[in-house]
């Protein structure tokens, strides 16, 4: 599959006249709980020739490929990426720290990784993860007598990420296994979560089941606790001149 992914990335460069700066796996394969039939969610950042940014009608700032079989490939243009970095975008952070890297050129991704630790707003990150966890809980788990068990993972992963930020005062790893190694959790919650993760990885579909009382109680208590707890986290912003300089350096101007 890696050979196919690299071939697809090369085709994108040739077709769109761009240069890919880095390409990684995102989603369940990066988070660490992919099953046998999970898609390959490849994400990349690219730059165009300088003249493309000087047009009256600017090109789109995303490249979206049709999903073919299990391969889903999409990318962001360099200026769009830097605007999202300025906003402490969580998806970009997870791309940068993905454990599965398909392509990395020059020093661009390395510079951004350093800056995440220095400049990303921990308050914005945790607010995003809180919104993700709360939305998934209310939509898929709350008040249900029968639940899709894998939905617990889409609620618990962001809550574990918030715990990492609170306890370590830094951005969490993309892999949930690495995050779990660095946070304190109630024993029953950790045990139930690890069991679900292994079941998800070993089966094509977890199926449905009765709600897990210990997980439900933990989720509800965290959703009640976190809004007040994260108010003290720093609201950082990267210096915009530094972001501009990095863009200009990458474009050679």
The CATH topology of domain 2-120 is Beta Polymerase; domain 2 (3.30.460)
Profile the chain (253 residues) by mean pLDDT over runs of 10 residues: 97 98 97 91 98 95 94 98 95 97 96 95 96 96 88 96 97 97 95 92 77 93 98 91 95 93
Q: Provide the 3-class DSSP secondary structure of residue 17.
A: coil
- Hey, what long-range contacts does 221-226 have (CB within 8 A, 24 or more apart)? 222/133, 222/159, 222/162, 223/130, 223/133, 223/134, 223/137, 226/126, 226/130, 226/159, 226/162
Q: Please, are residues 22 and 36 in contact by the beta-carbon 8 Å criterion?
A: no
In this prediction, residue 154 carries a pLDDT of 94
What pLDDT is stored for residue 207 in this prediction? 75
Question: Tell me, what's the pLDDT at 205?
Answer: 65
Residue 44 contacts residue 22 (beta carbons within 8 Å): yes
- Helix, strand, or coil here: 242? helix
**Domain-wise residue ranges, the chain:** 2-120, 122-232
Whole-prediction pTM value? 0.93
Read off the tokens for 239: 């210096």
Cβ contacts of 234 within 8 Å, gap of 6 or more: 121, 122, 123
Residue 209's pLDDT is 83
pLDDT of residue 35: 87
Query: What was the pLDDT predicted at 125?
Result: 95
């Amino acid at each position: 599959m890696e050979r196919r992914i690299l071939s697809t990335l090369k085709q994108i460069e040739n077709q769109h006249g761009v240069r890919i700066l880095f390409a990684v796996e995102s989603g369940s394969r990066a988070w660490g709980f992919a099953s046998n039939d999970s898609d390959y969610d490849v994400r990349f950042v690219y730059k165009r020739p300088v003249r493309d940014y000087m047009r009256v009608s600017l090109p789109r700032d995303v490249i979206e490929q049709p999903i073919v079989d299990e391969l889903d490939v999409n990318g962001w243009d360099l200026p769009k990426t830097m605007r999202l970095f300025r906003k402490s975008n969580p998806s970009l952070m997870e791309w940068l720290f993905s454990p599965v890297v398909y392509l990395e050129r020059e020093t661009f991704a390395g510079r951004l990784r350093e800056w995440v630790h220095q400049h990303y707003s921990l308050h914005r990150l945790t607010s995003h993860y809180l919104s993700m966890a709360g939305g998934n809980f209310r939509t898929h788990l709350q008040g249900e007598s029968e639940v899709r068990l894998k939905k617990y993972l889409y609620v618990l992963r962001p809550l574990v990420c918030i715990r990492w930020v609170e306890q370590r005062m830094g951005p969490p790893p993309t892999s949930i296994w690495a995050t779990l190694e660095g946070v304190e959790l109630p024993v029953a919650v950790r045990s139930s979560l690890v069991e679900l993760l292994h079941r998800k990885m070993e089966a094509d579909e977890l199926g449905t089941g009765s709600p897990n009382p210990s997980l439900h109680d933990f989720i509800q208590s965290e959703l009640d606790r976190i809004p007040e707890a994260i108010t003290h986290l720093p609201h950082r912003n990267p210096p915009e001149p530094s972001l501009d300089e990095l863009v200009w350096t990458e474009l050679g101007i």
